[in-house]
Amino acid sequence: MTRPTVIPVALALGGNLGTVLETFARAIDGLRRAGLQHPTASSWYRNPAVGCAPGTPDFINGIVTGDWPGTVSELHHCCKQLEVAAGRPAEHASYVSRTLDLDIILFGDALIATPELQIPHRETLKRLFVLVPLAELAGDWPFPGRCATVGQLLQPWQDTAEYRQFVTGKITGPTTATPSSAAAPASGYGDSADHSD
């Protein structure tokens, strides 16, 4: 019997409502139960929300990598189910607070462009809150559509004030366990770019 193909994947998590790290822990557990193998979480970072209304709570963001045994459509459906389970409406506005944002950033070496999905995620290389934790876990992964690895694509940022400011927001280190043992700040925290998704 042929074993199913397993694809290395990277997913971005973000949120700024509720006990965010506990929400992330439940989401990672949900991904594991849905079939994600060897899930590994990056450091979690906090930064002010940009592009949202004044007074919007800060966000927490990070990356989870693992091996997915199904299709990209199945993983996308799982992510949307987990967002709804965390309390995010299936239909939602952009640039607003959320309990959980769960996006597929990389799906092996796939280049996908459909009305529902763009992989690699279209804003990956513009968003330090994605690129920095992604490089922690997948710095040597080739970035689809570019003749460079994730780590190489981060390098131009590393001498910038924006990068230096962003990394001061690290609140936990990477772990192969879910982050449920980490105490979440009351408000949640996150990225230095927009929260349009």
Catalytic site includes residue 101: yes
DSSP alpha helix (H) spans, the chain: 20-34, 72-85, 128-138, 150-154, 161-167
Tens digits of pLDDT across the chain (197 residues) = 455 689 999 999 999 888 999 999 999 999 999 999 999 999 999 988 767 777 788 889 999 999 999 999 999 999 999 999 988 665 554 555 778 999 999 999 999 999 889 999 888 999 999 999 999 999 999 999 999 999 999 999 999 999 999 999 999 766 554 444 333 333 333 333 344 45
Q: Is there a contact between 129 and 14 (Cβ–Cβ < 8 Å)?
A: yes
109 as an active site residue: the answer is no
Residue 168 CA: distances (Å) to CA of 72, 132, 161, 191: 34, 12, 11, 12
* Catalytic residue list contains 194: no
Q: What is the pLDDT of residues 82-125, one digit of tens each?
A: 999 988 665 554 555 778 999 999 999 999 999 889 999 888 99
Q: Residue 83 CA to chain centroid, in angstroms? A: 12
**What is the CATH superfamily name and number for domain 7-181?**
7,8-Dihydro-6-hydroxymethylpterin-pyrophosphokinase HPPK (3.30.70.560)
Tokens of 165: 């400011």
Q: pTM for this one?
A: 0.84
Q: Where are the domains of the chain?
A: 7-181
Active-site pick, 46, 88, 127, 191: 88
